[in-house]
A and B are shown apart, each in its own frame.
Chain A
């Protein structure tokens, strides 16, 4: 009895479902929510350009329970994506060297999250102000 040498184990096809990769899988999957939001906004822009009837129909769709449920789903996905994306962001960029020392990666993550939070609050305030 003789086995192959070297022996190549088959690649694990469900690797993304295992614990060390779940953060990555979540980040990639929730990207769909980001694309979903973009699509909703794009549809809005197109209907705005197509005239008042189309735009009102789009606004009507936004108020429907289906749309609210979809937006809740998108929102949860978006929060997970923002959190997970800023965790990996420092790995994707060149190093900032200040006074001979590298800027710590968790500072970059924290800065990203703060900017995202400020943008979110500003958007809410502006939207509320425009409603009023």
Chain B
């Protein structure tokens, strides 16, 4: 197993301070320090795996792919939201390096946070294509040009790691704010030339908990490991929401007629 071989070749040791919380014994989270031998190629995730395998089997954290694809191992590393698998221990030598659960989320146990709220938000934005006009297979594909793809492509790269939420102070103050990640996914569909349900999704954007809780801090886009640029998704929607508002004021009747038809969900 990797941590064993790594430990065998390790020449240096780093101090890792982990914020631990076990509800069955702890009233509040508390720091615990581990000394972890490491090699230059070891990620913070591998450091945590070393702790779990050799020092303290009770430590809980989420991980899966180890290569920044699955989005499971998001945590605060030296107070910055990062994927533990794409952050290297060597950059923090000699430490101490702090590891905390993602900021602004309820802690289930140790580094594991509750994702329920985020999943509900993702579900709420109609996260699927709702075609303008449904086509039968014999009518062929829904075509799209490279330019039309470029308008939303980065927003489809989100891996749901929630680092952007941990970076967002507005989400910290208002957990009901739909937030950068869900808004990026919303824009992935609203910006798609094949989609016809913009009006439906804009109902979510218009609200206080929609685009308007954002104050354009921009840190969400900086911490994104996939360059999704969620800040751009949220702020594009402010412009659209404002435009919708004025258009609606101009002609309420026309607006209600242009709404997308209900249904169309797979």
Contact = CB atoms under 8 A, between A and B. Distances in A.
Q: Do A and B bind each other?
A: yes
Interface of A: 1-9, 11-12, 15-16, 18, 20-21, 23-24, 28, 88, 90-95, 97, 99-102
B24 A24 contact: no
A95 B233 CA distance: 10
B221 A91 contact: yes
Interface string B198-209: 000000000000
24 contacts: A1-B25, A5-B109, A7-B21, A7-B23, A7-B28, A7-B107, A9-B107, A11-B172, A12-B169, A18-B79, A21-B169, A21-B217, A24-B219, A88-B218, A88-B231, A91-B232, A91-B235, A92-B216, A92-B239, A94-B236, A94-B239, A95-B232, A100-B149, A102-B150
A98 to B, nearest CB: 8
Contacts of B17: none
B111 to A, nearest CB: 12
A85 B63 CA distance: 38
Contacts of B150: 95, 97, 100-102
B138 interface: no
A94 to B, nearest CB: 5
B169 A7 contact: no
Contact of A1 (B27, B106, B151): B27
Nearest to B109: A5
Given A11-B173, A91-B216, A2 B24 contact: yes
Nearest to B29: A7
A20 B21 contact: no
